[in-house]
């Protein structure tokens, strides 16, 4: 009898890629196929730099001035890449001010309230689902967790970033659900317990940050599993294109490197 060497598909889903998928499936397909151009925007670099400064305090016990300096160096390194783009912030000094303001928004208002640290920029990868047809893995990096729950740092000048739209993030955030799944997997919470999760909007003007709870349960995780199996089946169909969506502010020439080959081509004169 001839033995088959065919193996079942293995899907590894990162939280960041899934956010892209739910925003624009076609962009997610291009990223997965490695045909989407490398892109580093000023906003993304400032966020990464602020995270680096926070990590310097939490992990390396650096003084705030040293942590800010490390964050600024992180931004300089990212800005030196040929893939870097100035989108909204036009001057390096402005970007530096945003990083410093976001850091002190955290240092002055969040840091004093933290409890026993469990996670800082915690990487994870684990088998989330397996059946006779496929494996589904989850991977990502969680910003922070302590004995009070999981937190994710955002950076924005909008002191009411969550405002009237916060309920959408609370209800539909795949990021919160994935981090809760990782917390269950790591044994931080029993499966019948709710995982406390909070988005923290660090105001880059240095003002008090805004917090948005988005707690998760195993019911959220169970539905996420069903979602990811359906996405895995979609990938396995090997379609030449995926659905196009423009119902998001990121569908613009500023934020999408393929906009002029997609929606933008219909508006060229």
In the block, tokens 């000048």 appear at 157
Q: Using an 8 Å Cβ cutoff, are 214 and 198 in contact?
A: yes
C-alpha angle 243/29/183, rounded to 5°? 105
Supply the angle between the helices 42-60 and 64-79 in degrees, to the nearest 10.
150
213-247 pLDDT, tens digit per residue, is 999 999 999 999 999 999 999 999 999 999 999 99
Assess whether pLDDT exceeds 90 at residue 1.
no
**SS3 category, 78:** helix
**Rounded Cα distance, 18 and 172, in Å:** 12
pLDDT category of residue 165 using cuts at 50, 70 and 90: confident
What's the rounded mean pLDDT across residues 26-35? 96
Give, for 54, the enclosing helix (H) or strand (E). Answer: helix 42-60
Question: Which pLDDT score, from 0 to 100, does residue 6 have?
Answer: 62
User: Quick one: DSSP state of residue 65?
Assistant: H
Kindly tell me the burial class for residue 32, based on how many C-beta atoms sit within 10 Å of its own C-beta (0-12, 13-18, 19 or more): middle
Q: Where are the domains of the chain?
A: 6-36+117-254, 38-113
Question: Which pLDDT score, from 0 to 100, does residue 3 have?
Answer: 47
What's the rounded mean pLDDT across residues 122-138? 97
* Number of other CB atoms surrounding residue 86 within 10 Å: 15
Kindly tell me the burial class for residue 228, based on how many C-beta atoms sit within 10 Å of its own C-beta (0-12, 13-18, 19 or more): buried
Query: CA nearest 98: which of 163, 41, 169, 23?
Result: 41
Q: Could you please report the per-residue DSSP string of 97-149? A: HHHHHHHHHHHHHTGGG--SEEEEEEEEEEEEEE-SS-EEEEEEEEEEEETTE
Assess whether pLDDT exceeds 50 at residue 150.
yes
Q: Which CATH architecture has domain 6-36+117-254?
A: Alpha-Beta Complex (3.90)
C-alpha angle 44/213/129, rounded to 5°? 75
Residues 6+ apart with CB under 8 A from 229: 129, 134, 136
Residues 6+ apart with CB under 8 A from 179: 15, 140, 142, 150, 152, 195, 197, 216
- Is pTM beyond 0.85? Reply is yes
Query: CA nearest 111: which of 35, 33, 56?
Result: 56
């Amino acid at each position: 009898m001839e033995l088959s060497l065919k193996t079942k598909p293995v899907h590894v889903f990162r939280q960041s890629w899934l956010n892209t998928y739910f925003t624009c499936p076609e962009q997610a397909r291009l990223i997965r196929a490695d045909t989407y151009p490398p892109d580093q925007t000023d906003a993304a670099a400032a966020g990464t730099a602020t995270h680096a400064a926070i990590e310097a305090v939490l992990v390396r016990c650096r003084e705030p001035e040293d942590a800010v300096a490390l964050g600024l160096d992180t931004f300089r390194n990212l800005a030196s890449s040929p893939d870097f783009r100035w989108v909204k912030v036009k001057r390096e000094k402005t970007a530096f001010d945003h990083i410093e303001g976001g850091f002190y928004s955290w240092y002055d208002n969040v840091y004093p309230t933290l409890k026993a640290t469990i996670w800082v920029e915690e990487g994870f990868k684990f088998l989330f689902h397996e059946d006779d047809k496929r494996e589904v893995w989850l991977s990502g990096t969680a910003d922070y967790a302590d004995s009070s729950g999981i937190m994710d740092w955002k950076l924005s000048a909008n002191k009411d970033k969550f405002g009237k739209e916060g309920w959408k993030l609370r209800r539909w955030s795949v990021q919160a659900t994935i981090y809760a799944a990782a917390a269950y997997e790591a044994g931080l919470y029993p499966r019948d317990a709710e995982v406390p999760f909070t988005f923290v909007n660090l105001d880059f003007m240095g003002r008090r940050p805004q917090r948005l709870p988005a707690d998760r349960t195993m019911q959220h995780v169970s539905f996420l599993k069903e979602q990811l199996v359906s996405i895995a089946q979609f990938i396995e169909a090997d379609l030449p294109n995926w659905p196009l969506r423009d119902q998001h502010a990121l569908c613009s020439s500023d934020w999408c490197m393929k906009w002029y080959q997609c929606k933008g081509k219909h508006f060229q004169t």
